[in-house]
Amino acid sequence: MDFYIVLGLDRDASFGDVKRAYKRLARRHHPDINPGDKMAAAQFRQIADAYETLIDPERRRRYDAGAPSGATIEESAFGFEGFDFSVKVGGASASTFGDLFADVLQQREARRAHGEAERGADLHQAITLSFEEAMRGGQRPITVTRQERCHTCQGAGRLHTNESRCTHCHGTGAVKSARGHMVFSKPCAHCGGSGRQQQIMCPTCGGQQFEVRSEPLTIQVPPGLADLARVRVAGMGHVGPNGGETGDLFISVHVEPHPLFRRDGDDLHLVVPVAVHEAALGAKVDVPSLDGPARLRVPPGTQSGQRFRLRERGVPSPRDGRRGDLVVEVRLVLPKLLDERSKELLREFGKINSEDVRRELIHHQGHQGHQGRTT
């Protein structure tokens, strides 16, 4: 096997020529482009071996020194059955990378036209919900633009017609393409190698098997969705080629923040202001919740920052419907001293309750200072 013939190069080809030849042929024979084609896989391995040898200066020098000088095309054509090496194409008729890329796409479309069913692509969309809408759930109208099966050809991509000569291969059943020193011959993908056509491309979808439509859709939003949650709507993605399974629609949900509630899992947190006399004497206060006002019992002697839990007043779980809790944090609010009577009452209250509320803090600081002097 002559590596120069494999890549369609002369022996004085530059390293840039080697790279360009490899890129053209690798794109054509890569296993991902030709799934299940064992011959293409073998050819790709030969192309890769040739490239790795000729792109490395030392390996190329050793190969040139030991390669047979009189190798013939027949001796070097192992694994390239169906290729015609007798024509050398150059100048304006030479193949370009764009031609090769278009040919690869044409092969892919031909395989799709005659191949197995494929699953359609998924769609992704985003919606924004208020905090109350996300907690409550319900129905939400949206508009979806998706690929649906063509109504003219019913997803076949082609329409039956009277038999005629294939216009792509001119009735020969085969098409040829040149790549450097090589001329490739392959069955015509449009007539399956028969040279005759009994079908024409669908004029509505252009052979793509689908057409794009926009349609209104009402989705069901489960209650309790969190910000950045996703809702899956099965079967509302793009239609699958060749009658394949339809993809899904995934909806990303953005939930606007609430001015009062803060969510933590399925629990809601709420800060409630409490007057000094309510915290000192105890009180029953109404606090907001998802279900309307809820009664909170503030016990006597409640301190600022103390938290109370109202069971099953939180967020309904989208998984099992169980509700979290409402966690209420108490914040003491000092009264506005507007008259002397209020001030006098506070002074009297301070005399009766003369306990130093900062005694423990001062004791702690003194203990710290004593330790500093002894060390």
pLDDT in tens, 295-345: 999 999 999 999 999 999 999 998 888 999 999 999 999 887 678 888 888
- Measured CA to CA, the distance from residue 290 to residue 313 in angstroms comes to 7
In percent, the amount of the chain with pLDDT more than 70 equals: 79
Q: Which one, of 213, 223, 214, 219, lies nearest residue 141 by Cα?
A: 219
Query: Which amino acid, 211?
Result: E
Give the angle subtended at the CA of 153 by the CAs of 206 and 215, to the nearest 5°: 85
H/E stretch holding 85 reads: none
Q: Which one, of 1, 120, 109, lies nearest residue 63 by Cα?
A: 1
Q: Which of 10-24, 64-78, 335-349, 353-367 has the lowest mean pLDDT?
A: 64-78
pLDDT of residue 181: 67
Helix (H, G, I), strand (E, B) or coil at 276: helix
pLDDT of residue 8: 84
The residue that leads in pLDDT, 367 or 239, is 239
- pTM, entire model: 0.56
pLDDT of residue 207: 78
Query: Which amino acid, 17?
Result: D
pLDDT of residue 82: 36
- Top-level CATH class of 262-335? mainly beta
Structure tokens at 80: 């390239």
- Across the chain, mean pLDDT equals 80
Does position 80 have pLDDT exceeding 90, yes or no? Answer: no
C-beta of residue 270 within 8 angstroms of C-beta of residue 259: no
Q: Which of 216-220, 257-261, 315-319, 367-371 has the lowest mean pLDDT?
A: 367-371
CA atoms within 13 A on the CB side of 27: 18
pLDDT of residue 372: 57
**DSSP alpha helix (H) spans, the chain:** 3-7, 15-29, 38-55, 57-66, 73-76, 97-114, 131-136, 276-281, 340-352, 359-374
Helix (H, G, I), strand (E, B) or coil at 200: strand
- Measured CA to CA, the distance from residue 293 to residue 1 in angstroms comes to 86
Res. 94 pLDDT band, cuts 50 70 90: very low
Of the ranges 167-176, 194-203, 348-357, 363-372, which is most confident?
Answer: 167-176
Q: 118-153+214-238+247-256 has which fold?
A: HSP40/DNAj peptide-binding domain (2.60.260)
Res. 12 pLDDT band, cuts 50 70 90: confident
Does position 81 have pLDDT exceeding 70, yes or no? Answer: no
- Measured CA to CA, the distance from residue 244 to residue 124 in angstroms comes to 19
Per CATH, the number for 3-114 is 1.10.287.110
Exposure string for 190-208, b = 16+ CB within 10 A, e = fewer: bbeeebebebeebeebebb
pLDDT of residue 351: 85
- Measured CA to CA, the distance from residue 156 to residue 285 in angstroms comes to 69
Helix (H, G, I), strand (E, B) or coil at 327: strand
- Measured CA to CA, the distance from residue 371 to residue 367 in angstroms comes to 6
Q: Tokens 């503030």, residue?
A: 298
- Measured CA to CA, the distance from residue 224 to residue 265 in angstroms comes to 10
Does position 93 have pLDDT exceeding 50, yes or no? Answer: no
Does position 98 have pLDDT exceeding 50, yes or no? Answer: no
pLDDT of residue 5: 83
Does position 68 have pLDDT exceeding 70, yes or no? Answer: no
